Amino acid sequence: MSFSAEAFKRQFPLFAQPENQQLVYLDNAATTQKPQAVIDAICGFYLHSNANTHRSSHRLARLATDMVERVRGQAAGFLNATSAREIVFCRGATEALNLLANSLCSELQAGDEIVISTAEHHANIVPWQMMAQRFQLTLRYVPHTAGIPQFDRLSEVLTARTRIVSLTGGSNALGLRPDLQGIARQLRGRQLHWIVDGAQLAAHERVDVQQLGCDFLVCSAHKFYGPSGIGLLYGREQLLEAMPPWQGGGEMIAEVDLYTSHYAGLPHKFEAGTSSLAAIAGLGAALEFLGTQDREAMAAHEQQLMAWLHEELAEIPGIRLLSQPQHNLGIVAFAPVNGSAADLMHWLDGRDIAVRVGHHCAQPLIRAAGETATVRASIAAYTTRNDVEAFVQALREYLALAETPDSEAPQRGVEWSLDDLSALQVERLASQRNWQDRYRELMRWSKAIGAKPEIRRPENLVRGCESDAWLAHVEGGGRHYFALDSDSRVVKGLGALLLSQIDGRTAEEIRALDLPLLFADLGLEQHLSQSRSNGFYALLRQALAFVG
- 477-518 pLDDT tens trace: 888 989 999 888 888 888 888 888 888 889 888 888 888 887
The conformation of residue 505, written as its DSSP 8-state character, comes to B
**Catalytic: which of 105, 214, 219, 361?**
361
Give the pLDDT confidence score for residue 433 in this predicted structure. 65
| Known catalytic residue at 465 | no
- What's the confidence (pLDDT) of residue 524? 72
Yes or no: say if 92 and 220 are a contact pair by the CB < 8 Å rule. yes
Backbone region of residue 340 per phi and psi (left: phi > 0; alpha: psi in -120 to 50; beta: other values):
beta
Q: Tell me 478's DSSP state.
A: T
The correct CATH number of 5-26+294-402 out of 3.90.1150.10, 1.10.357.10, 3.50.50.60, 3.40.50.300 is 3.90.1150.10
pLDDT for position 139: 98
Within 10 angstroms of residue 295's Cβ, the number of other Cβ atoms is 14
**pLDDT-flagged residues of the chain (< 50):** 405-413
Burial class of residue 326 (count of CB atoms within 10 Å of its CB; 0-12, 13-18, 19+): exposed
Which CATH code is given to the segment(s) 37-291? 3.40.640.10
Whether 44 and 53 have beta carbons less than 8 Å apart is answered as no
The predicted pLDDT at position 437 comes to 77
Report pLDDT for 526.
64
- For the chain, the domains span 5-26+294-402, 37-291, 426-547
pTM (two decimals): 0.79
Residue 496 neighbours by CB distance under 10 Å: 22
Q: Is 480 helix (H, G, I), strand (E, B) or coil?
A: strand
Out of 1.10.3720.10, 1.10.10.10, 3.40.1010.10, 3.90.1010.10, which CATH number does the structure's domain 426-547 have?
3.90.1010.10
pLDDT of residue 488: 83
The strand pairing partners of 475, in sequence order, are: 480
Please tell me if the domain spanning 5-26+294-402 has the same topology as the one spanning 426-547: no
Give 24's contacts (C-beta < 8 A, 6+ positions apart).
Answer: 351, 352, 353, 354, 387, 390, 391
